[in-house]
Amino acid sequence: MRRLGLFVVCNLTCISCATISPPAGEPDLEALLADPEARVMWVGAHPDDEALAGPLLARACVGLGRPCLMFVMNRGDGGECLLPEGCRPDLGTVRAQELRLVAGAYGAELHHQRYWNAPLPMSSFPPRPEIGARWIAQGDPTDRLVRVIETFRPTILLTFDPHHGFTGHPEHQLASRFATAAVRKSQVQPRVYHLLNQLWITRVMGADPGEPTETFDTHAPCGPAGRSCLDVALQISRAHRTQRGDMGRVRSLRPQFGQVYLRRIDPQDLSQAPEPLSP
């Protein structure tokens, strides 16, 4: 997750804090999670990306005890280490250890890949198709995701928007594109949701396009201790010590995280779920 601090600050003023519900007759995500057979899969790019979906994962994996799986594309070794003692033997190894702690806290199965992570700054990143082609050369993520989907058999798959990817990071966009390409090829067809950045100021800078189909209340209960899903997620985010700048900003702005914005999409519709290497 990159440049998150800017986007977190933007949470101080949202487009609308009103709850958005799917059309009449369509179950919302909470209703889907209430099914004892629900199984949830998260697909992200970097070891801390799940924090953006944290309240949802807390509800599914902790509050309701549903089987969960996290599929993460790379080790985040192109980022920065904010540990005073440094990151030894290297940043990717330390971030992988942090992610294992996070997955354990959620009770989630973890599939952590080693795809190339474009080094900071963002201004130096190659175009998205170039990064995607590099990933494919390392072993097509679509095929790996198909195998995981068909083994785990999720009923719900959560990922980013494929055009903007919450923060504008091309690897967020690619994680989404490879995930939905895999659903198209898979014999298992979960309901697919995009996690959206729907904050008014980021629209000026380029927020996720389109409108959400529903929202999730982050203050939903997660466990017998009476904690909210948001509080559970923020506590788990402390494991990402190398990224404490971004994670600290998230935790400091707890009162602003009232809603998670979601868009349910048809993975067969290429306008909603484009191919990985398409423009």
Using one digit for the tens of pLDDT, what is the confidence trace for 18-60? 688 887 778 999 999 999 999 999 999 999 999 999 999 999 9
- DSSP helix/strand/coil, 188: coil
Tokens representing 154 are 């999720």
C-alpha closest to that of 233 among 243, 221, 224? 221
What tens digit of pLDDT does each residue of 174-204 get?
A: 999 999 999 999 999 999 999 999 864 444 4
- The DSSP annotation for 154-187 comes to -SEEEEE-SSSHHHH-HHHHHHHHHHHHHHHH-S
Reported residue count of the chain is 279
Rounded Cα distance between 160 and 7, Å, is: 15
Percent of the chain clearing pLDDT 70 (strictly above): 88
Estimate to the nearest angstrom the gap between the alpha carbon of 57 and the chain centroid: 10
pTM given for the model: 0.92
Rounded Cα distance between 79 and 85, Å, is: 16
Please check whether residue 167 is in contact with residue 1, taking contact to mean a CB–CB distance below 8 angstroms: yes
Rounded Cα distance between 253 and 244, Å, is: 14
- Whether the predicted pLDDT of 216 surpasses 50: yes
Tell which wins on pLDDT, 109 or 226.
109
- The DSSP annotation for 220-239 comes to SB-STT--BHHHHHHHHGGG
Please tell me the class of the 4-10+44-265 domain.
alpha beta
Locate all alpha helices (DSSP H) within the chain, ordered by sequence: 4-9, 29-34, 54-57, 91-106, 128-137, 141-152, 165-168, 170-185, 200-205, 229-236, 244-252
Please check whether residue 75 is in contact with residue 115, taking contact to mean a CB–CB distance below 8 angstroms: no
Rounded Cα distance between 267 and 265, Å, is: 6
206-211: average pLDDT:
83
pLDDT of residue 15: 42
Produce one character per residue of 88-101: b if its CB has 16 or more CB atoms within 10 Å, e if not: eeebbebbbebbee
Each domain of the chain, given as residue ranges in start order, spans: 4-10+44-265
Confidence of residue 255 (pLDDT cuts 50, 70, 90): low
Please check whether residue 260 is in contact with residue 177, taking contact to mean a CB–CB distance below 8 angstroms: no
Produce one character per residue of 183-200: b if its CB has 16 or more CB atoms within 10 Å, e if not: beebebebbbbbbbbbbe
Rounded Cα distance between 147 and 132, Å, is: 19
Mean pLDDT for the chain? 90
Q: Give Cβ neighbours of residue 60 (< 8 Å, ≥ 6 apart).
A: 33, 38, 40, 66, 68, 156
241-252: average pLDDT:
79
What tens digit of pLDDT does each residue of 85-98 get?
A: 999 999 999 999 99
